[in-house]
Structure 1
């Protein structure tokens, strides 16, 4: 099968490296019998996946990113596929029904493909992760209710303006709405098992509508618009809270978040560090790029049960704060240190 790779390299004047792990270059991998099981191609003018038919019987993971793919008719031959990325191919007008032959498909990436209708994806019963963001005309998600294995749904940078317009099963645990037109947090009762919610870059101005999201562990809500920390009372399982880049001036509303481990208040308007006594499990606190901090209540230091790293600058009496810190509290205010701006840990690429 390496002859097939050589043929591709010659025809498209490129190099395709053999690798057993994901790399950001064109690569392939084989099984113990020498059959090609993984193929990753980026910005190659394939135009059609027909050329890949000689290895259709063995491919398990296939990514053809920005390869000018126009039609999916021959996908019916790729029945072993578990992972498929068609990202940045203009599939507008190409029937997605051909995906229905992929009964083993677990991960599907259709970001930036001009997708407008998701109903034809409703037969992919093995699907676990679906990435359909980056589609400018996608304003409704429908037909995914019967995909009971689907737990990760990414509709970021689409035209979705209400969670009500997302029709998927209640087993969704990870929902990415980053960069959508969402203005208000509503209808989350549809997803009672939600563990991670990303609302970064939306139009949301108030933290609300989370009363039924009692299983939430991660919340990312950087919108440049949030002025108050509120509406978090029921999120007792929350471990990550990212409020980076908002208009917050006071630390409050965190008393019930006793399981919180990571908290980002970077790039807000906070001048006083207070009301953190109940956050006994805190391991990371980001306070960079705020108002000059004029008050820091160190009382919570002695309630912490593990090591905690705190990043801040523009703080008066920083030496005094550092002196008050026990050994398990590490304060970093080095100007040469590039602090993390966001706590969002992007999921591993769909192709990995």
Structure 2
């Protein structure tokens, strides 16, 4: 029993110092600041460490560097919903590619005990990227208290908060104008659920900005958008199918479904297929995001192309600029979008 305990004991810096003949301080420098000792000393220490099978404790190393070597991405909803949305997945991919470039890990941070504020307080990261955050929120003061740099995607542009956005309101105005121009008047809308950071009362949340765009286009056509026309989805395929079935069961079935999320729009198409209806012959459906699946589904989906991966990349590059205490070239980045008309929208 004693022999097994000896074999399984991890070598320490003290062991390396004893075997190599150098001080514990020199051993620490060899791993964390090799320029502070001679090349010969560094080589001998690292060779000794390798011979002993020593692997540095990442927590101890990060403590000595005063960095965690990880950035956090605050998931906009619980994991169950966030990672079922391909748009969020693409944002994560863009962030992750930049983390790899800088030698950092990426920590995904869902609400902790249903509290995003508690999650921020406990996050062992050097900076944070959020989706949909607004400057007056409680988590902002928590990050400022912790001196954590942060960037928001799809948030509210503010002098205190670097952001990456598209013009959501204008994109939805143009999409709605296209739908109306195609002759549709009986329309169902599928909104996004409010994320972990926002409340429905916040005028600058993404769902509210997009709804303003729809309303503006309808008002110009002499139409009003009634609350009874709006359903809310959790942005998953399954929920899109549920929403689609709900819409098809309406007594006065709409001629067009306008969804704020491609994955939900695709779920609605599948619900139509299951009901024996054809899109767009029996009902038109349009989405938002231009995820890869939107061009694979039959019929291909009319949608707004917003470059999710590029959003993640730009946000991460901005965050690393701040972590390295450099000056941002642009605090607020608004990137272009495109309206992509495909087969799922029919002219009446």
Which bin holds the TM-score, normalised by the shorter protein?
under 0.3
In terms of fraction of residues, the more strand-rich structure is 1
TM-score (norm 2): 0.27
In terms of fraction of residues, the more helix-rich structure is 2
Which structure has the bigger radius of gyration? 2
